[in-house]
Structure 1
Amino acid sequence: MNFLEKMREGIRKRMMNWLQPQPGIHAIQIQEMMDFELSAIRNRIWYRGDGNELEQLYQQSAESADRHKFWASRCSPGMEMRKIHTGLPGLMIKTINGIIVAAMGEFEFGEGNDVQSDVWKEIAKKNKFRKKFEKSLKEVLYIGDGAYKITIDTDISQYPILEWYPGERVEFVYERGQLKEIAFKTPYKKGFTQYTLVEYYGYGYVNSVLYKGETEVPLNSIKATEKLLPEVTFDKSVILGVPLMIYENTKFEGRGGSIFDGKLDSFDAYDEAWSQWMDALRAGRAKTYIPENIIPRNPETGELLKPNPFDNRFIATGSDMGENARNEVKVEQPVIPHDSYLASYVTALDQCLQGIISPSTLGIDVKKLDNAEAQREKEKATLYTRDAIIEALQETLPELASACINAYHILHKEPVAELEPSIDFGEYSNPSFESQVETLSKARPGSPIMSIEAQVEEMWGDNKDEDWKKQEVARLKAEAGIVEMEEPGVNTSLGEFNIQGGDGNAGEGGEEDVSNEPEGVQGTP
């Protein structure tokens, strides 16, 4: 192809591209206003439920959308409005946390691991594990994640020490999707100087670094860290830090998601609906107008009596001197659209609770006409949330128990063990025990679609152990007249018969000798 042909081909391609333009690609730039630590602090303020802190948070926020929210708004002079926080976010977390902790059972280490079980019980007792777990689960739910740090300090305890770090004080390092290292940050203050101790926990090592601002300084710079070793090594199969998270974060890769994600705007609107309702009630207070000539007077001095705010609040007005005037007491009561405010309140509440928890779990009755079946259907939202949390805990808590036990072995210079502990959670009391009895009792008579074993398992679940459930099955079968008997056995070793001809060993007529055959069993050779 010569030069002219190449030029024609280039011009032809450019003309075709011009006549058939390709779809344009537009770049969209989104600026993140908060990092993970700042969003964790924001969620913590919502959980604490202090209206003063919420107003300060949003009025100082640089986000463009937040400046129009209820908690960021400023009242016009002379038209001040009372801002009320309902405390719903904190109530949701406390209720879900109470449901999970109340159902948590004990760790099981399997047969032959009694020593490991005893070690864990002592570690849990020394560290008050149940109380510490209750606090950590709350923070995981509203912050998103966190991590347990296992420390060995024989000056304090002869057992490993379990410490909890919330999400804003830890960082996770992943390699090919696997956890490689956890950085625990502990702030210290010496005078007016801020120090931060960062402990890097990885597989087989713990490295400690002290920072003064952004500058690394020696560990002996402050008294709290002077006894720490810069580097500690041990078995490379063990890491003495265990992260805990329930949901995945949609904005920050490798971090946990808060139960508040996507709900903060709904909480803000819910507070606004309730505050407006209460403001209308305050503005709609009844006012009593009394003409001056019929206001009660002091019988001794003749002065007008001051109104009592509890029984005779009134506003004095001038006497009407008109021809047809009537000096009478007037009471004015503004009409408050109660139904409209209630509808707004219920709708905002539904937006806050959707996909997380049922109103009946919180003790809220917003629709009094719902029957028991409708209430149970709504309760499924709580069950779904509970199942997601328990599934995550059943993966993480056994790892935590194993790490604590291996830390105990490292402390006593013993070989680490590969443990597979497990933990069970009891059933959530939904549906009610009475309705469950009624449902299961109808399942078998007339239409035996469930065995007695299945009924007992469905009824008691993890609330009873296996031995108790076997005994309960035996009792129910005995009451129903079902008797389990052992099947009669046949001794097959005697199944061969010695048949001989007429050589005198058999009986008369050549009959076989069946004298050794088991009683009640007759056979033919």
Structure 2
Amino acid sequence: MGWLKDMLTKAAVRYLNVQPAMQMQVTITEAYTFESNLMRNRLWFRGEPYELDQFFKNISSDPVNKARFWSATPSKDLSIRKIHSGLPEIIVNTLAGIVVADIDKLEIGGNDDNEVWDSIAEDNKFETLIEEAITEALVAGDGSFKISIDETISKYPIIEFYTAENVDYVYTRGRLQEIQFSNLYQNGSKTYRLIEYYGKGYVRYKLYDSYGKEVPLTTIQDTADLEDVAFKGNFIMGIPLMFFKSPKWDNRGKSIFDSKSDSFDALDEVISQWIDAIRDGRVVKYIPEDLVPKNDQTGELLKPNPFDNKFIKIGSSLQEDAKNEIDMKQADIKYEAYVESYSNAIDMCLQGIVSPSTLGIDLKKTDNAEAQREKEKATLYTRGKIVKVLTSVIPKLVETALMVNDTLNNKAPGEYEASISFGEYASPSFDNVVEIVGKAKSYGVMSVEKAVEEMYGDTMTDKDKALEVQRIKEQNGDMQAEEPKVIDTNQDLNNNGDINE
């Protein structure tokens, strides 16, 4: 049928005089570089209002930025109280805490290997390191674990995490070939940058000055003793960590704040306006000039203070029946509109990332327990993405650390197989489990052993579960007696009732 379609198209062009669309070229100018975008996300996480105000007021490459709340400048002799909600930091810290708390067990193939890893993990405070790495990767977009050897500090491999601004990657056809770790050194008034090139079977060092020119490693004392290293094994002593892929920069990660900057700005504006309205809604005293408080020493009229004796002076009336009285008025603030705006702004900030219930925010007081669990689905989705990446990255990190430990002890790098498991988040309450498992057991589609396993999971040991199964069977009369012994005709009993052969 393709020939028919072409024929009809040509006929339409010929008889209807349809002109084909002209090629159009559109030039788009990006507002942020990778570094400036990273700085913006880190400032959102830091949550300092003064730093946010400076950053957004100094962005000249983004014309849309002029209308944002954090770049607004008040009129002369006026001030704007800008309040930051702190929500970005709360989101990241909550997600990192949830994931780390759900780590169930980390195992390596052999018992001896487990003992070695336990020593390495304890020396590097591994659980704290993982939580910090998750936090940094969510804020900056990506980062990388670096495994190094320094026997003056530790007899075990040293595991560090480098954030996105201090790490770069070299890929060939989608395969990681090299990780470049950056370190800054200050020598007097000069700044130097050390780049550590971690590749498969090698570690190389290069030192650059502030102009990007390579200089000898002996230029500064901190790098004078460094030498290029080659080791056995086709592996890199570093593991990248990235949860979301960036649509802007190749082979880089996407921060969890990348698409939420305007939403955070709007939330801060709503909160600031709300607090400002509350301040303006205080009782205002209209005081005749003759009654305004005066300075005891100079007799000058005292200026009003917005936090204690806020008033507005009015002129004295010269009319015969005039009364110089203090008049008090208070504005009628529409609090419901501010609450609704706050709820909508919160929803925009959290959409697709985490549910309000996870952060302890209850926007609808009438929600029941089932509705609250339904709201956790956004958190479950984000947590699932993080756990999926960590399930691959952490075992690879453990295996690499053990291979580096072999290299440290002058052994050929061995082959290791590590695995990690995570617990369940937002699991149903115990009474719901009892109801579901009880129904399945009563319908005859679940054994006693399976029912006990589903009920108690990891809260009971296998031995305790076996005892519980035995007790349940005894209560239900489901007992298995031992098979009685049969006496053969060629055997007889002795005086004690035992069988004689």
Alignment match, 1:66 = 65
Alignment match, 2:352 = 355
Verify the 8 A CA contact 1:199 1:208 in the aligned structure 2.
Answer: yes
Does 2:290 match 1:280?
no
Q: Secondary structure, in 3 states, of the residue corresponding to 2:357?
A: coil
Deviation, structure 1 residue 344: 0.7
Verify the 8 A CA contact 1:205 1:233 in the aligned structure 2.
Answer: yes
Deviation, structure 1 residue 64: 2.1
Give runs of aligned pairs for residues 216-235 of structure 1, distance below 5 A: 216-230=214-228, 232-235=229-232
Alignment match, 2:440 = 444
CA distance in 2, matches of 1:55, 1:318: 40
Does 2:13 match 1:23?
no
In the TM superposition, what whole-angstrom CA distance separates every residue of 1:273-308 from its partner, at most 9, and x where no partner exists? Answer: 1111111111221112355788999xxxxx999999
In the TM superposition, what whole-angstrom CA distance separates every residue of 1:94-134 from its partner, at most 9, and x where no partner exists? Answer: 11111112222332113xx1111111111111111122222
Deviation, structure 1 residue 317: 5.1
TM-score, scaled relative to structure 2: 0.85
Does 2:106 match 1:107?
yes
In the TM superposition, what whole-angstrom CA distance separates every residue of 1:185-212 from its partner, at most 9, and x where no partner exists? Answer: 1111111211111111111111111111
Residue identity opposite 2:352 in structure 1: G
Aligned residues: 474
Alignment match, 1:41 = 39
Gaps of 5+ in 1: 1-14, 298-302, 489-513, 517-525
Give runs of aligned pairs for residues 113-262 of structure 1, distance below 5 A: 113-212=110-209, 213-230=211-228, 232-262=229-259
CA distance in 2, matches of 1:165, 1:279: 41
CA distance in 1, matches of 2:36, 2:305: 51
CA distance in 2, matches of 1:290, 1:351: 45
- Cα distance, 1:22–1:465 mapped onto 2, change above 3 Å: farther
In the TM superposition, what whole-angstrom CA distance separates every residue of 1:189-236 from its partner, at most 9, and x where no partner exists? Answer: 111211111111111111111111311111111111111113x11123
CA distance in 1, matches of 2:84, 2:287: 38
Verify the 8 A CA contact 2:241 2:393 in the aligned structure 1.
Answer: yes
Verify the 8 A CA contact 1:436 1:459 in the aligned structure 2.
Answer: no
Gaps of 5+ in 2: 1-12, 295-299, 491-501
Deviation, structure 1 residue 428: 2.1
Verify the 8 A CA contact 1:108 1:422 in the aligned structure 2.
Answer: yes
2:388 corresponds to which of 377, 387, 391: 391
Deviation, structure 1 residue 436: 3.4
Deviation, structure 1 residue 311: 7.7
Query: Quick check: which has more Rg, 1 or 2?
Result: 1
CA distance in 2, matches of 1:395, 1:310: 57
Verify the 8 A CA contact 1:440 1:455 in the aligned structure 2.
Answer: no
In the TM superposition, what whole-angstrom CA distance separates every residue of 1:57-96 from its partner, at most 9, and x where no partner exists? Answer: 1111122222321111211224421111110000111111
Residue identity opposite 2:47 in structure 1: G
Verify the 8 A CA contact 1:84 1:271 in the aligned structure 2.
Answer: yes
2:263 corresponds to which of 252, 263, 266: 266
Verify the 8 A CA contact 1:426 1:461 in the aligned structure 2.
Answer: no
In the TM superposition, what whole-angstrom CA distance separates every residue of 1:366-406 from its partner, at most 9, and x where no partner exists? Answer: 21111221111112211221121111111100000001000
Alignment match, 1:369 = 366
Alignment match, 1:425 = 422
Residue identity opposite 1:48 in structure 2: R
Verify the 8 A CA contact 2:49 2:83 in the aligned structure 1.
Answer: yes
Verify the 8 A CA contact 1:286 1:331 in the aligned structure 2.
Answer: yes
More moved, 198-207 vs 448-457: 448-457
Q: Secondary structure, in 3 states, of the residue corresponding to 2:97?
A: helix
Deviation, structure 1 residue 463: 5.2
- Cα distance, 1:278–1:312 mapped onto 2, change above 3 Å: closer
CA distance in 2, matches of 1:280, 1:400: 53
CA distance in 2, matches of 1:243, 1:304: 67
Give runs of aligned pairs for residues 313-332 of structure 1, distance below 5 A: 322=319, 328-332=325-329
Residue identity opposite 2:400 in structure 1: A
Deviation, structure 1 residue 23: 2.7
Verify the 8 A CA contact 2:434 2:455 in the aligned structure 1.
Answer: no
